[in-house]
């Protein structure tokens, strides 16, 4: 009998020790742990084997725990950004974490975490849910850096999960890609819309020059967010070749220019100037013939160089054709309007200039349907109001001549 009590006491001590070990295992390691992210292995995590022992917190990630990395997706080379690791899904003490990067340097900004083996991990058990801030300094070389992390839930859960990897671009964005008008395009209006594509969130610098080396520029324009820009009337001349390129700028820096410069040549396509005299007034004449099918001519007069836009609308006010758009010198002009070359099936270019197949004058199955249409001329003097003595009628916007006439199409 004298050995029974000591034996039972030994059993009790062993059981208590097992319970303490289990409790300790349920907590995040108080010294922190590294090498547990997907940087090391997709089978690592908080369930990886502890040196000299078994698994730490179970071998499978738990969807009950949500772990998230957040912060800037772009940094300049050598720049520093503030980031956050957040964990949700459990409540209580015993949380932990491990954060690693493919390159660059991590730094702790919280007493709850420490830098260990170039990774960030908990300095002691953390209360959950948590949101812990840290900083990341990008390497001097440009490229993509991957940030990895996992997080451990509260004591009673023992659950852990991965954070989705966060990619950080270090350095400037890639060069934009030019879209329109295509390079070497002829017959472009003198107030064209230029478009391109590039990374979201960037601003753009657009340059236009008559020189391929851009030693001098006609336009140097900052475009805030849009990936297109309409060149203001009066900027470009007629029958002139221009070169253009675009660069992108964001928090990572400024990209190279968009490869070899594209070019286009301006032309008052389809617009014919009649004579060399200068009219004494702005005027928009009635088209001839009217009614018509399928073509007619529209004449307008400019007493001075003006930014001109001549547009055809249907009876509902919808724009159906742009016949002129750009800078025109003083003179009398005639513009052809071929109803068979405009409409949803006509193959008209975005500039309003018919394609070669639709400009031949045939109506075919496309083109506009019979009915009443209106054409509107707006003309603004380049450089302000013309000099006194010119017989002119300016209305609408300050210093702008506008006139509207009705036309009848019979198909």
Please identify, among 240, 266, 292, the residue that sits at the C-terminal boundary of a domain: 266
Statement to judge: residues 199 and 161 lie in one domain: no
Total structural domains within the chain: 3
Q: Per the domain annotation, does 15 fall within a domain?
A: no
Give pLDDT, residue 351.
Answer: 34
Rounded to two decimals, the pTM is 0.56
Query: Is residue 52 reached through a cis peptide bond, with omega within 30 degrees of 0 on the bond before it?
Result: no
Please identify, among 245, 266, 287, the residue that sits at the C-terminal boundary of a domain: 266
Residue 357's contacts (CB-CB under 8 Å, 6 or more residues apart) are: 347
Local mean pLDDT, 10-residue blocks, the chain (411 residues)? 49 46 46 84 52 48 92 94 94 91 94 93 90 96 94 76 94 94 83 89 95 95 90 81 96 94 79 70 93 91 89 91 83 85 44 32 57 94 59 53 94 82
Give pLDDT, residue 375.
Answer: 96
**244 touches 260 (CB < 8 A):** no
Q: Per the domain annotation, does 310 fall within a domain?
A: yes
Q: DSSP character for 55?
A: B
CB count within 10 Å of CB 381 equals 23
SS3 64: coil
Helix spans in 109-177 (H): none
349/354 Cα distance (integer angstroms): 6
Q: Per the domain annotation, does 281 fall within a domain?
A: yes
CATH number at 221 reads 2.60.40.10
The closest alpha carbon to 161, from 55, 50, 87, belongs to 87
Taking only the tens place, the pLDDT of each residue in 308-357 is: 889 999 999 998 888 888 788 888 888 888 887 665 433 333 333 333 33
Task: State the residue range of the domain holding 223.
Answer: 177-266
Residue 153's contacts (CB-CB under 8 Å, 6 or more residues apart) are: 62, 64, 65, 87, 89, 90, 94, 95, 128, 159, 160, 161
> Can you give the three-state secondary structure of 223-288, one letter per residue?
ECCCCEEECCCCCCCCCCEEEEEEEEEECCEECCCCCCCEEEEECCCCCEEECCCCCCCCEECCCE
């Amino acid at each position: 009998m004298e050995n029974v009590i000591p034996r039972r006491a030994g059993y009790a001590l062993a059981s208590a020790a097992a319970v303490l070990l289990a409790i300790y295992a349920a907590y995040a390691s108080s010294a922190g742990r590294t090498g547990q992210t997907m940087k090391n292995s997709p089978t690592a995590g908080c369930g990886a084997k502890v040196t000299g022992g078994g698994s730490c917190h179970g071998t499978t990630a738990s969807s009950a725990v949500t772990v998230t990395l957040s912060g800037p997706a772009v940094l300049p080379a050598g720049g520093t950004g503030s980031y956050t690791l957040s964990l949700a899904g459990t409540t209580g003490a015993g949380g932990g974490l491990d954060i690693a990067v493919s390159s660059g340097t991590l730094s702790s900004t919280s007493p709850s975490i420490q830098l260990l083996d170039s990774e960030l991990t908990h300095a002691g058990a953390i209360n959950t849910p948590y949101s812990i801030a840290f900083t990341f300094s990008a390497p001097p070389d440009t490229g993509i850096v991957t940030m990895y992390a996992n997080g451990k839930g509260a004591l009673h859960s023992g659950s852990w999960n991965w954070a989705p990897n966060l990619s950080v671009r270090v350095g400037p964005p890639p060069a934009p890609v030019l879209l329109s008008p295509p390079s070497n395009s002829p017959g472009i209006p003198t107030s064209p819309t230029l478009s391109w594509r590039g990374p979201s969130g960037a601003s753009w610098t657009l340059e236009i020059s008559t020189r391929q080396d851009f030693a001098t520029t006609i336009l140097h324009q900052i475009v805030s967010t849009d990936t297109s820009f309409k060149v203001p009337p009066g900027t470009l001349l007629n029958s002139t070749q221009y070169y253009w390129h675009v660069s992108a700028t964001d928090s990572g820096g400024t990209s190279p220019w968009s490869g070899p410069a594209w070019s286009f040549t301006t032309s008052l396509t389809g617009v014919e100037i009649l004579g060399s005299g200068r009219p004494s007034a702005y005027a928009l004449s009635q088209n001839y013939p009217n009614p018509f099918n399928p073509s007619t001519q529209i004449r307008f007069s400019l007493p001075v160089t003006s930014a001109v836009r001549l547009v055809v609308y249907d009876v509902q006010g919808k724009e159906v054709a742009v016949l002129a758009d750009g800078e025109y010198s003083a003179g009398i002009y005639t513009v052809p309007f071929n109803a068979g070359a405009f409409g949803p099936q006509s193959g008209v270019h975005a500039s309003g200039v018919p394609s070669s197949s639709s400009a031949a004058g045939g109506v075919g199955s496309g083109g506009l349907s019979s009915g009443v249409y209106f054409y509107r001329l707006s003309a603004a003097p380049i450089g302000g109001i013309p000099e006194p003595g010119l017989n002119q009628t300016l209305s609408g916007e300050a210093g702008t001549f506008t006139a509207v006439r009705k036309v009848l199409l019979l198909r």
